[in-house]
Amino acid sequence: MSDATTHVTDTYNPQEVERKWQARWDSEGINTYTDSDLRKAGVQGRPFYNLMMFPYPSAEGLHIGNIYAFTGADIYGRFKRLQGYDVFEPIGFDAFGIHSENFALKMGVHPMELIPRNIERFTKQLRRVGFMYDWNHTVDTTQKEYYRWTQWIFLQLFKAGLAEKKEAPVNWCPSCNTVLANEQVVGGECERCGTVVEMRNLSQWFFKITDFAGRLLDNLQTIDWSETTKKAQENWIGRSEGAEVVFPVVSESSTPESDDGSEVVRQAFRYFLTADQIISRWQELEYPAIKVFTTRPDTIFGATYMVLAPEHPLVAQITTKERRKAVQAYQRKVAAKDLVTRKKGDKKKTGVDTGARVLNPATGKEIPVWIADYVLMEYGTGAIMAVPGHDERDFEFAQHYKLPVVRVVAGAGDDADAPLAEAYTGPGRLVNSGHFDGMEVDEAKREVTAWLAERNAAEPRTNYRLHDWTISRQRYWGPPIPILYCDDCGIVPVPEEQLPVELPFIEDFKPDASGISPLARHREWYLTGCPQCGGVARRETDVSDTFLDSAWYFLRYPSARNDRRAFEPSLTRNWLPVDSYIGGNEHAVLHLLYARFVTMALHDMEWIDFEEPFTKFRAHGLMIKDGAKMSKSKGNVVVPDVYIDDYGADTLRTYLMFMGPYQEGGDFRDTGIAGPYNFLNRLWDTVRDAEDRPLEPEIEQKLHATIKKVTEDLEALSHNTAIAAMMEFLNVLRAGGRTAERAAVEPLVILSSPFAPHLAEELWERMGHTESLYRSAAWPEFDPAKAVADTVEFVVQVNGKVRARMPMSRGISEADARDAALADPNVLRFLDGKQVRKTIFVPDRLLNLVVG
Nearest-10 crossing angle of helices 649-658, 64-82: 90
**What's 481-539 look like in SS3?**
CCEEEECCCEEEECCHHHCCCCCCCCCCCCCCCCCCCHHHHCHHHHEEECCCCCCEEEE
Considering only 681, 742, 787, 836, the residue that binds RNA (CB under 7 A) is 681
DSSP string, 117-175: HHHHHHHHHHHHHT----TTS-EETTSHHHHHHHHHHHHHHHHTT-EEEEEEEEEEETT
Q: Which stretch binds RNA (CB under 7 A): 208-216, 472-480, 687-695, 729-737?
A: 729-737
Binding to RNA in span 423-462, by CB under 7 A: none
CB of 652 to RNA, least distance (A): 14
What's the Cα-to-Cα distance from 20 to each of 17, 647, 757, rounded to whole Å?
Answer: 5, 16, 12
CA–CA gap between residue 567 and residue 580 (Å, rounded): 19
Q: What does the per-residue mask of binding to RNA show for 279-318, with x meaning CB under 7 A?
A: --------------xxxx------------x---------
Q: Which stretch binds RNA (CB under 7 A): 105-113, 572-580, 621-629, 739-747?
A: 621-629
Say if CB 330 and CB 352 are below 8 A apart: yes
Say if CB 210 and CB 239 are below 8 A apart: no
CA–CA gap between residue 850 and residue 831 (Å, rounded): 9
Say if CB 395 and CB 423 are below 8 A apart: yes
Q: Which stretch binds RNA (CB under 7 A): 212-220, 278-286, 600-608, 657-665?
A: 657-665
CB of 292 to RNA, least distance (A): 7
Residue 676 interacting with RNA (CB under 7 A)? yes
Q: Which is nearer to RNA, 22 or 718 (CB)?
A: 718
Residue 373 interacting with RNA (CB under 7 A)? yes
Strand partners, 165: 205
Say if CB 74 and CB 132 are below 8 A apart: yes
Residue 768 interacting with RNA (CB under 7 A)? no
* 463 burial level (CB within 10 Å; 0-12, 13-18, 19+): buried
81 CB-side CA count, 13 A: 27
Considering only 195, 678, 739, 791, the residue that binds RNA (CB under 7 A) is 678
Residue 585 interacting with RNA (CB under 7 A)? yes
CA–CA gap between residue 275 and residue 455 (Å, rounded): 12
Residue 757 interacting with RNA (CB under 7 A)? no
Closest CA to 407 of 430, 427, 426, 384: 430
Binding to RNA in span 518-557, by CB under 7 A: none
Residue 345 interacting with RNA (CB under 7 A)? yes
Q: Which stretch binds RNA (CB under 7 A): 32-40, 257-265, 370-378, 401-409?
A: 370-378
Binding to RNA in span 97-126, by CB under 7 A: none
Q: What does the per-residue mask of binding to RNA show for 827-846, with x meaning CB under 7 A?
A: ---x-------x-x-x--xx
Residue 232 interacting with RNA (CB under 7 A)? yes
Say if CB 707 and CB 728 are below 8 A apart: no
Q: Which is nearer to RNA, 571 or 657 (CB)?
A: 657
Binding to RNA in span 239-278, by CB under 7 A: 240, 242
Say if CB 48 and CB 579 are below 8 A apart: yes
Q: Which is nearer to RNA, 472 or 797 (CB)?
A: 797
Torsion of Cα atoms, 289 then 293 then 297 then 303, to 10°:
-60
Q: Which is nearer to RNA, 428 or 479 (CB)?
A: 428
Q: Which is nearer to RNA, 190 or 608 (CB)?
A: 190
Considering only 44, 195, 201, 228, the residue that binds RNA (CB under 7 A) is 228
CB of 215 to RNA, least distance (A): 19
Q: Which is nearer to RNA, 646 or 765 (CB)?
A: 646
Edge-first strand order for the sheet with 198-207 is: 178-180, 163-173, 198-207, 469-470
CA–CA gap between residue 352 and residue 331 (Å, rounded): 9
Q: Which is nearer to RNA, 574 or 585 (CB)?
A: 585
Q: Which is nearer to RNA, 72 or 480 (CB)?
A: 72
Binding to RNA in span 783-802, by CB under 7 A: 792-793, 795, 797, 799-802
Q: Which is nearer to RNA, 574 or 663 (CB)?
A: 663
Q: Which is nearer to RNA, 233 or 544 (CB)?
A: 233
Q: Which stretch binds RNA (CB under 7 A): 360-368, 517-525, 689-697, 733-741?
A: 733-741
Residue 57 interacting with RNA (CB under 7 A)? no
CB of 458 to RNA, least distance (A): 12
Binding to RNA in span 181-200, by CB under 7 A: 182
Q: Which is nearer to RNA, 15 or 562 (CB)?
A: 15
Considering only 136, 189, 675, 695, the residue that binds RNA (CB under 7 A) is 675
Q: Which is nearer to RNA, 105 or 383 (CB)?
A: 383
Q: Which stretch binds RNA (CB under 7 A): 40-48, 170-178, 565-573, 677-685?
A: 677-685
What's the Cα-to-Cα distance from 86 to each of 94, 775, 780, rounded to whole Å?
Answer: 26, 11, 17
Binding to RNA in span 687-726, by CB under 7 A: 718, 720-721, 723-724
Q: Which is nearer to RNA, 736 or 768 (CB)?
A: 736
CA–CA gap between residue 13 and residue 684 (Å, rounded): 10
Is the N-terminal amide bond of 577 cis, ω within 30° of 0? Answer: yes
Q: Please, what is the end-to-end C-alpha distance for the chain in angstroms?
A: 75
φ, ψ of residue 424 to 5 degrees: the values are -100, 115
CA–CA gap between residue 25 and residue 15 (Å, rounded): 15
Q: Which stretch binds RNA (CB under 7 A): 161-169, 208-216, 324-332, 372-380?
A: 372-380
CA–CA gap between residue 501 and residue 517 (Å, rounded): 15
Q: What angle do CA 615, 621, 622 make, to 5 degrees?
A: 130
DSSP string, 706-719: HHHHHHHHHHTT-H
DSSP string, 667-702: E---TTTHHHHHHHHHHHHHHHH-B--PPPHHHHHH
Size of interface with RNA, in residues (CB under 7 A)? 92
- The helices-and-strands tally (H runs, E runs) of the chain is 31, 35
Residue 683 interacting with RNA (CB under 7 A)? no
Residue 342 interacting with RNA (CB under 7 A)? yes
Q: Which is nearer to RNA, 187 or 529 (CB)?
A: 187
CB of 682 to RNA, least distance (A): 5
φ, ψ of residue 33 to 5 degrees: the values are -105, 145
Considering only 45, 666, 742, 836, the residue that binds RNA (CB under 7 A) is 666
Considering only 59, 637, 743, 850, the residue that binds RNA (CB under 7 A) is 850
Considering only 202, 220, 285, 376, the residue that binds RNA (CB under 7 A) is 376
Residue 626 interacting with RNA (CB under 7 A)? no
Residue 629 interacting with RNA (CB under 7 A)? yes
Edge-first strand order for the sheet with 47-52 is: 86-88, 47-52, 580-584, 616-620, 224-225
Considering only 37, 191, 661, 820, the residue that binds RNA (CB under 7 A) is 661
Considering only 134, 263, 391, 542, the residue that binds RNA (CB under 7 A) is 391
Residue 735 interacting with RNA (CB under 7 A)? yes
Q: Which stretch binds RNA (CB under 7 A): 474-482, 488-496, 598-606, 732-740?
A: 732-740
Closest CA to 655 of 713, 719, 710, 711: 719
